[in-house]
Every structure is written in structure tokens, then in C-alpha cells.
Chains A and B, each alone.
Chain A
Amino acid sequence: MRSWAIASREISAMLAEKSFILIVLLELLLVSSSGLLSVGYVLLTSPESSTTLNDLSRLVYVGIVTQTPEDFSVELSRNKVHHTFYRSVDVAKKDFRQGLIDAIIIGDIDRGPPPSVIRVYLPDNSPKTALTKLALKKVFVSMEEDLRQDKLSAHAPGIELASYKIMNYKPQARYMEIYYIFTLPLLLFLPTVISGSLAIDSITQDLESKRMLNLILAPLKPAQIVFGKAIGSFALSIFQSVLWLSILSATFVSPKNHLWLMFLVGIYTVIFINAGSILALYLQKMRSSQILYTFFSMSAISLFSPFANLHPLLLYMSPSYMITRLAMGSPPLVFAGQFAILLTIAALTTLVVLFAAPRVSRL
């Protein structure tokens, strides 16, 4: 009960400051820009499937030196790639080196049994090369498919190749996916990280300004002071996760396993608050505690990135992996091992906080 008194004081102060609105604003920015993030994500991971990039093929200019221009012209036009046929390789190279064309294609299409070898000049020193490659890849893959069919019917009619069909398939942007794999995990995890930082602020500010003295003199146990201060941060984190789960549930995202997600957020929050409290209690200074905590939290956030692919343990313990899978409806029991590890960490860090709590009186 006495911890609640401290907690309510902390929450009142937080509400009075109104600056927590900035965090909600930040999260709002994250949600609203998810569409764009999906563009960036697809661009980084599988550029071939990016509709944005496909539309940008018209920014690519290609020069061609060939004796079979029709074969190239059809596919390049279909993919909206600007193209010009040159008679001389030297002239094409001159234009290429001056940046007038983004690539040169040299070679002819052979419809006989041997393969056609096409030489492609691409710039070594331009970030636009990726876009040019993408446009050319689409063109060449398409040309290859058509050419294979022609050659098979002309030279090897009995051969059948593997093929597939997807029923009711319509290509679409991967907007929804980004909400599950990026936006939702970040929305749920970010407040837990910030809660640890707030715990540090709450303890060290009172220690450095000597206001902790008032609390020490009150009939409170050190652990009650520390946990009382932590409750405010915990409540803010949980409030935010409830808020975003409710908002996203009302949209097309509709995450599953709400309670388990809340439970997971709760465990993470406890771990981060405990980590922050331990640092604040041992270092007693805001600056040192915050710097160390930043390293700690950044390491945890790095598990959201492809770094987690370095080892299966990192991958399966990645918060984003767990949150996404739970939100997409995986049975919670699949994560029994991860939950057990996280609960153990939470319990152990809580014990350390209890052990370190008397340090609040070291003013």
C-alpha cells in the first residue's frame, strides 16, 4: 500500500509534465509511417518484389549494341526501361562513362541450341546501379523464360519442366506484413525499454537532489521506495501496450494472443525496470546509469535487427520474433522455453533489486 502512495505521486508528476505525450506521438508516427517502412523493408530484403521499385524502372536508361534489336526492344518497352540502340560499342561506352546511359547491353540473341552470351556494362560507382540491375534483371528473366519456351518447342519438344500455379493470386504490397514484423513489435517493446530509463531517472533524481531523504525518513522500507517508484513506469508501459493492441485490433492487423502478448510485455518491463533500478542503486548517478543502460537497451534492441540471425539462440530469444509469432497466432506453448528463461531473468533481477534496495539510503 505504501508503495502505491509513491507510485501515485510518480504517476501524477508524469501526467503533470505531459511530456509522455511525446512518446505516444512518436509511436503514432511509427504506426502512420508503417506503409513507407514497408517500402523500405521490401526494398532492403527482396527488391524484386517491390512495386515502388518496379515503377521506377522508367528512370533507367540503357544503351544496346546488337544485331537482334527486336528481342530486346519488346521486353525493355514492356518494363518501361528507356533504351537506345547504338551501332558502335565505342559511342555507347562514351555515353555510358558520361552518365548518359546507366548500362550497356552488348550481344545477340541466338535461337539455336547454344546459349546467348550477353555482356552488360554497369557502373561500379553509383548507388543507382541497384535500380538499374533490378530493371535489367526483370527484363532478362522475362526474356529467358520466353526464349526457353521457344527453344524447347523448336529443339526439344518432349521436355516438360516443373511449373506451379497459385489460385486466386493477386500481387500486392506487403503493407500488412510490416505491421506484424516491425511496427507491432516495436510498439510493444519500445515502452518497456523506456520504462527502465524512467526508473533510473526516478531514483537518481531523488538521490542527486537529496529528496530521497524525505522518503527514507518516512515509515517505508527501502524496497517499498524502489518498487513504488517502479510501478509508475510499469503502469505507463502496460498502458501503452493495451492502447496499441486495442487500436491495432480495430484495424485490419488484428493481432492474436492478446493476453500472452501483455504477459510478455509485462516480463520485459520488469526486466528493464529492474536493470535500470540496479544500475541506479549501484552507480547512484544518473549519467553513468543512463549511459550503461543505453548500452544494455541498445543490445536488446539489436535483437530486432538481422544481427539476431548470427545464432539460432539470438534469433529465438529475439523479442521481435516472439512478439510477431504470438501476434500472428502461434500457440503460446511453442515459446514455453523462452518464457521460462525470461521469467527466471525477471525473478533473479527482482532479487538483486531487493538486495540492492537499502542503497537508497546512501546519500
Chain B
Amino acid sequence: MLPRFLVISKYELKQYRASIADEAIILLVLLAGFMMLMTPEVEQSLLPSSHKIYRIGYLEGSVIGEIDSYTLDFVPYQDKYEMMYASNIEKIDAFAIMGRDKMVFFGSGTKKSESALNQLNLQMKDFNMHLVAERALAEPHLSGILLPLRLDIVGEEIDYLAAMNGTVDMQRKQLLGARRAEEVQEAQKLNEGPAPELVISTQASMESEDLPEPAPIQAAETEESLSLPAELAVEFPFKTLYKNMTLLSPLIMLSILLSLSLSKERIDRNMENLFIAPLSRWEIVLGKSLPYMAVMAALSLAFGFQATMTAQALKVALVFAALSATMLSFSLFSVVISRSYRELTFIGSFALFAFFFFIVLPNVFSGVNVLAFISPLDTVTSIENGAMIPYTDIFLSLLPYLFMSMFFTTFAGICFNPELMFASRDFYALLNYFYEALSRMMGHRHLFVVAAVSLLVPFIFIIESILAYLVLPMGFFAPIISLILLATVEELTKIVPFHFQRMNPLKYGLIAGASFFLCEKMFNLYLVYKVYSFLGGPYAYFLSRMAPTLLVHMASTSVFAILVYYGKRRIWYVLGLFISVIMHVIYNVAVLRGAI
């Protein structure tokens, strides 16, 4: 006799077995990730939309005609004036004229032309180098003059964990400083004279046995293994991005399948039968989700061993499993809040792109920018590169996603009942119901505030990550804009439970502020450890001034709650938000400026 929830799982699987087409599609979905990994790599990483987008004019017979570029379209002209006229009417973005001793390029003056000139500059650097190399080949006696530098690139394994640890930055400076000092001391001993300039001293004090062997000019055969500086290939982790996207796609598809299945039950009212059956709501949800969970767990494990055949595979599997849990819980959540297939499509499309932004895109910056730490996939990339990532790192990077799963599952669990599933309530009404039920579940109002605020904090993490994205290109203005936006998001989030469950505003403010502070700091542990230490400087102030931060959170939330509680009109919400954000921003600015 199967446990009751397993009967539901069996029923779920049976649905797919009923249709060969469904079975084939599911199989394809599951294999998609691995199939994509086997496809040949595309050499060009350029987007098709950038193919020949800029038109550059040149006079027929010019050497420019030999350039083959993906982005630039070189258009030959017979007459110089015809070409200049074409530039005037913006038919071409730039044109080339042979000057006395060099090729001179002119832009047409438009914004597009500026971009074209940028591309042209890159292209011409390569092309000139190509011409130099050709000449060196034609005149071997000039080879060492025209191509004076040859590189012999040697790859070696390093202690990757140490190299990628954000805190190593300071250590490096100190240790490198110490190394220099050591060498200066040695130089002093050897020369018995005053210490010369650090860098020069190194050269001055070199003993013959310590000197590196003079680099010999390589024989003709080995010279082929040498490369020119321009040939030093710089490849960014495009493959990692592509690979992780590929691996995530079957997981995404499986979570979509769960939401489609539950949605179907809801629309054709089969779910009524399930609610009538002697099954608890949790048994229905668990039974329905179990087949998908099992496949996702198996895939996660397979992905782990695909990444590395060591014990580290389990860590990779853990990351994919946790992301699967977030996706599945979101599927449950989306089914509960959507009232039609159409809404499900809108919510699903939004989630898919949001997922891409937070999980996949930051992976591009792996090893390059601290933004990479936003995504737990950064740990996967690190492991793939041979790093020994500890479980604490894995857990901390996944914490916001695990908490988010908790929110989605709790919300879906509470709202997954016949009354709401067939009443087509809007999201606001569902939130109202959720907070009422959560308040009853917690038993005590103070506990309710702690739970309600804590469950919202992971969303702050996500929203703040988006804001980090958005303000990054703003350069100089980025810090102040991000301070205002972050303060607004935090103040708004803290007040959400109060909007639905009114209570003593002062008590609410104190408890909500404290809960938010504790939970936020817990989530930030990973970022504090990885990012803040990487950036150093002002962020250290935040850490060393925990108590004032706690007080500010409590004070700003209390002010907002009091104004919302006693104010009878909506304008009080705006005023409350404004005052609390101002308090928040002033505090943050004061901390950054070292005034507190």
C-alpha cells in the first residue's frame, strides 16, 4: 500500500504515459541539456544583429578592401566626392582617405558614426599588426625588429581558492610589500650600501646564481609555439555562461511542467476531486511535485558529476538542487496566484527573464567583477576551475534562494485551498489572506511580525541585486542613486505586513526593524565575506557599526508605521515613506562619510 501522497505522484506520472507525444517531449527536455553540451562550439561569439552594421567607405584599390570584418561593411567608391556625399547623407558612417603617409578616417558626425569609429579603431589595430607581420615574413632579416616581442605562454595549476578569495587582496599587498622589503634588506647586505629605490634595488642586487637564465632565442621549430602579444587570446567565460544556461534549461522546463499540470487541474476542476479525497493539502502538493523533484534531483547530481568527477560534484549538485527547489516552489506560487492560463504565461515569462538576470547573467562576470557573487552559479564556475569551495560558501550563497523557496512554499501552502483556488481572487486579496493565516499560525503578533518580515528579506536581496545592475553604468552617480533606491525598497518592504495586519505601530516598528536587520545581515554574510572584503573601505564601517544600523531600522520603520496607522489618507503613506527613506539615506551617507 503506497503512502497517500505517492498515489498522487503515480497519478501525475500516468498523465504523461497516456500520451506518447508528451513522453517524447519530456524525454527531449531531459536530454536537452546534455545534447546541447555535445553540440559543436560556435566560433563567433558575435550577435547576428551586429553583422555588418556599420558602413565604411573607401576608394577602390585601397588596402582597406582586404579587411574582412564581421561588424564593418566596407563599401568601395570610385570617386572621393561621391564618397563624401554618401557620408553627408548618412549612407555611410565613416570613410577612409589615403593621406601623405597614413590612412585618415573621417566620421559622419552622428552617434552611430562614433560607434563605427570605435569599431574601426579596433579593426585597424589588428589590420596594421597583420600588415607588419606580413612584412616580417617577407623580410626575415627584419623579423626581430618588426616583431620585437615573442611570448612563451606556460599554463600552471595554482591554489585557486587563495587566488579568488576577496580578502587575499589586502594580504597580497602586505605580502608583496614584505617580499620587496626582504629583497631590499638582501640588497643592502650584498652591496653594503644604502637601500636604493625598491624596484631598481632588485635589479642592482641580483646575484648571478639567482638571476633568471637569459631567455634564449628559440630555434625555428620552437618559434612556432611562441605567440605575438596581439595573439594573446582573451576568452571570457562565455562557455561557462552557455553551459550553465544549457544545464538550467531542463530544470526550468520541469518546473514549468509542474505549474502547467497544477494549472490544468485547476482549470478543468479536477482539483476538486483531490480536495474531496482524504488527502491533506500538503499531501496533494507533495504528491504532485514529487516526480518533478525526483527528476530534478537526479539531473542535479548528473550535472555535478558532469562538472567534476571528484567529491566536489556533490557541491555542484547542491547548487542545482537548491535552484530547482526555488523554481519548483515558484511554480506552486505562480499557480496559486494566477487566475487563468494567460496570467500563468505572463508570470512565467517574467520569472524566466528575472531568473536569467539573477542567476545566469552575473555568471559572465565570474572572476572579473564582484557582481558574479550574486549568482550561486559562481561557485559552480569556481569548482569547474578546480577550486576547493567549502560547504559554508555554498550554503551562504544559496541562503537567499532557500529563504525565497520557503516564502513561496508557505504562501502556496496557505493559499492552496478550495476556497481560494476556485474563487479567482486577485493577488492583493491573496496577500491579505496569507498574512491573516500567517498571523493565526504564529499565534502571537510579535512572532508574526518576525516571520512576515523575515520571509520578505530575500526579495530585498534580489531587488538590491537588480539595482546593483541598473546603477552600475551610472558611474559617478551610482553610489548616491543606489543609496536612495535601496533605502526606498527596504522601507517599503518592512511596512508590507503592517499594511495587512494592523497593530501597535511603535511595537511593529521596533520588532520589524530588528527582524529585518538580523535577517538581512544573515543573508549578507556571504556578500560581506566575499564582496565587502573585496571592496573594502566604506563597507567596513557598516560592519563595525551594527548597533546604530539596528536603531535606524527600528526608528525608520516605527515612523513609517505610526504615520500609516494614524494617517487616514493615502498621502500619509507617501509622507511616511519619504521620511523613513530620508532617515535611512542620511544615516547611510553619514556612515559612508565616516561621520558616525
Q: Give the residue of A125, A170, A172, A314 whose beta carbon is less than 8 angstroms from that of B157.
A: A125
A164 contacts B128, CB within 8 Å? Answer: yes
Q: Which of B195-219 contact A (CB under 8 A)?
A: 199-200, 202-203, 205-207, 210-212, 214-218
A99 contacts B350, CB within 8 Å? Answer: no
Given known contacts A13-B342, A140-B149, A151-B148, A126 and B212 CB-to-CB distance under 8 angstroms:
no
Q: Give the residue of B158, B232, B264, B343 whose beta carbon is less than 8 angstroms from that of A133.
A: B232
Inter-chain CA distance A194–B466, complex, in Å, is 23
Interface size bucket, A side?
A: 35 or more
A127 contacts B382, CB within 8 Å? Answer: yes
A321 contacts B48, CB within 8 Å? Answer: yes
A19 contacts B346, CB within 8 Å? Answer: yes
| Shortest distance between the CB of B568 and any CB in chain A (Å) | 27
List the A side residues contacting B191 at CB < 8 Å: none
Inter-chain CA distance A91–B412, complex, in Å, is 59
A69 contacts B236, CB within 8 Å? Answer: no
Given known contacts A155-B145, A163-B128, A292 and B260 CB-to-CB distance under 8 angstroms:
no
Per-position 1/0 for B115-129, Cβ under 8 A of A: 101101110100010
Asked whether any CB of chain B lies closer than 8 Å to the CB of A294, the reply is yes
Asked whether any CB of chain B lies closer than 8 Å to the CB of A8, the reply is no
Asked whether any CB of chain B lies closer than 8 Å to the CB of A217, the reply is no
Q: Which of B151-172 contact A (CB under 8 A)?
A: 151-165, 168-169, 171-172
Per-position 1/0 for A276-296, Cβ under 8 A of B: 000000010111101110110
A141 contacts B230, CB within 8 Å? Answer: yes
Given known contacts A131-B367, A171-B121, A122 and B160 CB-to-CB distance under 8 angstroms:
no
Q: Give the residue of A40, A152, A173 whose beta carbon is less than 8 angstroms from that of B361.
A: A40
| B contact residues, total (Cβ < 8 Å) | 149
List the A side residues contacting B135 at CB < 8 Å: 161
Asked whether any CB of chain A lies closer than 8 Å to the CB of B104, the reply is yes
Q: Give the residue of A44, A85, A124, A325 whose beta carbon is less than 8 angstroms from that of B202.
A: A85
Asked whether any CB of chain B lies closer than 8 Å to the CB of A244, the reply is no
Q: Which of B316-374 contact A (CB under 8 A)?
A: 338-347, 349-350, 353-354, 357, 361, 364-369
How many A-B pairs with Cβ below 8 Å?
449
B49 contacts A324, CB within 8 Å? Answer: yes
List the B side residues contacting A118 at CB < 8 Å: 149-152, 215
Inter-chain CA distance A99–B367, complex, in Å, is 13
| Shortest distance between the CB of B373 and any CB in chain A (Å) | 12
List the B side residues contacting A283 at CB < 8 Å: 21
List the B side residues contacting A17 at CB < 8 Å: 339-340, 342-343, 346
B342 contacts A163, CB within 8 Å? Answer: no
Inter-chain CA distance A33–B183, complex, in Å, is 48
A84 contacts B42, CB within 8 Å? Answer: no
Q: Which of B2-10, B105-113, B493-501, B520-528 faces chain A?
A: B105-113
Residues of B near any A CB (own CB < 8 A): 19, 21-22, 25-26, 28-29, 42-51, 53, 63, 90, 99, 101-107, 111-112, 114-115, 117-118, 120-122, 124, 128, 131-132, 135, 142-165, 168-169, 171-173, 175-176, 179-180, 183, 186, 199-200, 202-203, 205-207, 210-212, 214-218, 226, 228-230, 232-238, 240-241, 253, 256-257, 260-261, 263-264, 267-269, 338-347, 349-350, 353-354, 357, 361, 364-369, 381-382, 385-387, 426, 466, 469-470, 472-474
Which 6 pairs across A and B sit closest by C-beta, in order of nearness?
Answer: A127-B367, A35-B473, A99-B163, A140-B229, A99-B162, A201-B341
